[in-house]
Structures are given as C-alpha cells and as structure tokens.
Amino acid sequence: MAVLLVWFALASPAQADVSPQRAQALLQALDTDDFDAKAEAAQAIAASDAAQKTRWLEAFLDGRLGRERDGERFYIITDDSGREWPIIDAITFEDAGTGSRRSVDAFRINNTLRTQLQGLIASLSLDEGDEATRLDAAKRLIGEVDAQSVDAVATQLDNEDSPAIRAEIETALALYRVEQGEGEALATLEGNLDTRVRNSLTTIANSDAPIAADAEKVLAGIENKRAWYERGQTLFFGLSAGSVLVLAAIGLAITFGVMGVINMAHGELIMLGAYTTWMIQQLLPGQPGLALLLAIPGGFLVAGAFGILIERSVIRFLKGRPLETLLATFGISLILQQLVRTVFSPLNRRVNSPDWLQGAWHLNEALSLTLNRLGVLIFCLVVFAALWALMRYTRLGLEVRAVTQNRAMARSMGVRAARVDMLTFGLGAGVAGLAGVALSQITNVGPNLGQSYIVDSFLVVVFGGVGNLWGTLVAGMSLGVINQVLQPWVGAVLAKVIVLIGVILFIQKRPQGLFAPKGRTS
C-alpha cells in the first residue's frame, strides 16, 4: 500500500483543474484488469493536481466510478441501489442522465487496493478541511503506513502544527516501525487505546519476533488501562440505571413518608408521563426537541392531576387502613392500564429523541457515554435538586416535613394535614410523570411500562429510609451500580435476586434504612 500523496499534497498545497485531456488520461489508467496497474493509477491520481482527485478516489473505493461501455466518457454513479443509476460526468460533475450495468462498467477493486485507497483518501484529507476533518484523516492513517509512504508521512509530521494531529501521525509511524521490528518505537505506543494498535501488538506478542516480549509488556499496560476505562463504563451505566430508579422512586418516597400510603398505581403514573410525551410529539411532528421540552411540564401536570384525583376520590377515605389502600390502588393501576389500552391500543409506541440526545460522547476508544442515558442522569439530578429546594425553602415543604415527623403536632399548630396530603400526593404523582418523560427517551412507551419499576421503587424507598430524599438518591444510585456490576457475572435475573436478598438482610439489621426518618409518624 502507498500513501505517497502526502508528499505531493505538501509540495502542491493548492489544487487546480487539470486539462480535460489530462483528466481523461488519469481515469483511463484505471480501466484495466491488472490490480497492480490500478494501484499505480490511483497513486498517480493522488499525486496529480486534479481538483477532482479526492472524489474520484472515493467513488473508486465505493465501486461507483466507471466507464461508458461504448464510448470514452467516465461516470460517477450517485446511487446504485436500483436498476437504473443516476450518473454524473466524472470530469465535469455535470448530470449525465441515467445508466445501468449494460451501459456503464464500474471499476472493480480487491482488498489490497481497497486498503491502499483508504490510505490515499486519508492522506489527502490531512491538508483539506478544518482541524476536525484533518484529525479524522490522521486517525485513519494508523495501520496504513508502508515502506513507500513512511518518509512522506514523516515529512507531514515535521510540518504539522496541531498537537492532536501530530499525536495521531506519531502513532501511525510508531506502529509501522514496531511492525518492522523496531523496539524503540514501542514507547510511543504505551497506553494507546486504539484498537488497531492493540490488534497489531497482540499479533506481535504472539509471534517469534525479537520484540515479542517487549510488545507483550506494552500490551499488558494497554489492557490494564482499558480495564479501568471499562470499570468507568460500568459505573456510568450503573449510575444511569440508578437515576431511572431515583426518578421512579422519589415521588413514591414523598407520599409514602407523609401519608404512609402504599400506592400500587405509582407505576401507572409513570406510564402517563411517558404517554404524555408521546402525545405531545404527535402534535409537533418533526420537532422532537421542542416536544420533549414541552413534555416536561406536561408530564408533570398530567400525572399530578391524576394523582390529586386518586387522592381525593379514594385515598382520603382509606387513611389508616393500609391493606385496603394497597388493594384499592392496585385496582386503580389495572383501570389505568386498561384505559390506556382502550385509548391508545396495547401496542408499544416509540418516542423519537432529539438530535442532541442521540449517539454517544466518545471520550476515547475504551469509554463512550450514550447521550440519552447521560441526559437522563443529568435530568434526575436537576429534578432532585428542585425537589430538595422545594422541601427546604417553601411553606409546602415545611408543612410536609412537619406532617411527616408528627402529624398530630402539625395539626395542633394549624397545618391543614388533609390539604398537605392532597398536594403531596399530587407532587409525588407529578414527579412520577417526570420519570415517565425520562423513560420515554430510553425505552418504548407501552401500557406495562410502569410495572417494571414499581417493585424496584419500593425497594429503593425502604432501603434509603422512608420519606428521606437523600436516602432515595443514595439508595437508587447504589442499587443501580450494584446491579450493573453483578450482571456480567451472574446475569440480569440473578443479579436482581441477589440485590433483593441483600436489601432484605440489610433491613433486618437496620429497619429504618440508610437514613433514619426524624421524629415519629402518628
């Protein structure tokens, strides 16, 4: 393989249109069955001053460059998915109508030529575009340097000012030299997380090369570094899973702490928040970002309204009767599920995420953070901070804390406990709706969405301490991380069983949970 055009790009940084005759001759050289001759022709194109050369090589690599069967014209196929291909003139880039297999012969390549073309295109890109484009091109050079191109790549390194691009070129050169048996270059590859570096070192370490032992040491260091990043990845997934548990449980913690109500319909309130997000997105097609922003207050209000309705129509008549309350809210959960199935059908619905929540944030080759889960984690912390501030600095928060610690004393001080119960239940239901908004970004929306989180929510509340916000946060995050750590070892189902047993044993020793509630409930 050759990447000689780096030198030519340096020698002639400005590209100019060559004559049509010269362009015809460059493309003519590709029209051969000899792959070695095609490789030489590709190098000649890369070394030329033709402004079209990058596009020619890209089309050649993709199998979209070809010649007219009964003529002298060359074409680029813009779409080869059908029988009739839209084509453009390869020299002028003007529309040339349509072609097919009968009228256009696309030039074929083999694996060796494909590798060479990738290197040529990468090297061309080193001097084209902004720094991000050039950095991407420098990364593609790793593993592509050969004996013919090494001097040109070294020259490019000497003339490069960007530290990031220099580092990638140095890695490409060092990898080539290590593959040639130069042990001194191994120092440059220490701690490098690039998969191509790792694969090459693995091959060398398992060979009889004189530097095999040294390569194995460098590889061991890389594997150790990757292991730490993989632990960081596991921690991130655990925290993201924990943030979902916190969002699902924090509203339940408030109502359970203030009213002592075991609300089995809490999962359906989460579901209502998710369906609200889907409905708003249907009203604003093509604007998922705006729809999501509107769904945050929308999900809170819809779920909160249902929560107040449930409290006013059922819960307030069953105070002090926990078994009846449990059965009543379980019945409400079934009613809400059937209502959703009747109105929206039992099929799952998909909520589209905005562009800024799609993809991943790649920190390096071993660690990447998916943006939707990162968004849920940040959203969880924002909701927690807002709820904590509400409880700490508002009159409602003061009254909620008073009722939680001593309901009779709060009443004697003039606190309207019935009003506090209604608002607290509505607040907890609204937060459950926010959990549904967040869940819509990482899973499908369906009638059974909330059922997956109701048991885990109660587990978090009991483990963290009834009615304690900080306990809910710590418990949710802890259980998420523990579950994520256990899953690779024992599987998802057994991991949940182990966590459940662990929480039961913990509660046996500390019934009040991680954070004991203040005062007493009467």
Classify the C-alpha dihedral 351-355-357-361 as positive or negative: positive
Whole-angstrom distance, CA of residue 400 vs CA of residue 10: 72
Ordered structural domains, the chain, with CATH: 1-63+107-210 (no CATH), 230-509 (1.10.3470)
3-state helix, strand, coil in the chain (%, to 5): 65, 5, 30
Q: How many CA atoms are closer than 13 Å to the CA of 380, on its beta-carbon side?
A: 29
Structure confidence at residue 301 (pLDDT): 95
Q: Residues of the chain with pLDDT > 90: what percent?
A: 17
Whole-angstrom distance, CA of residue 6 vs CA of residue 173: 13
Whole-angstrom distance, CA of residue 467 vs CA of residue 483: 23
Cβ count near 3 (within 10 Å)? 28
87 phi and psi angles, rounded to 5 deg: -130, 155
Contact 176, 168 (CB under 8 A): no
Structure confidence at residue 326 (pLDDT): 86
Tokens representing residue 181 in the block: 């048996």
User: Token match 């196929």: residue?
Assistant: 77
Three-state DSSP class for 392? helix
Q: Which amino acid would we find at residue 158?
A: D
Contact 459, 266 (CB under 8 A): no
Structure confidence at residue 382 (pLDDT): 93
Question: Which helix (H) or strand (E) element contains residue 97?
Answer: strand 95-99
Whole-angstrom distance, CA of residue 420 vs CA of residue 6: 73
309 phi and psi angles, rounded to 5 deg: -60, -45
Q: Which residues of the chain have pLDDT under 70?
A: 1-18, 122-130, 148, 257, 467, 516-522
Contact 435, 273 (CB under 8 A): yes
**344-390 pLDDT per residue, tens:** 888 888 888 888 888 888 888 888 888 989 999 999 999 999 989 98
Whole-angstrom distance, CA of residue 271 vs CA of residue 339: 12
Q: Biggest alpha carbon distance in the chain?
A: 100
Give the list of residues 6+ apart from residue 248 with CB closer than 8 angstroms, or none.
Answer: 266, 267, 270, 432, 435, 439, 453, 456, 457, 460
Contact 167, 175 (CB under 8 A): no
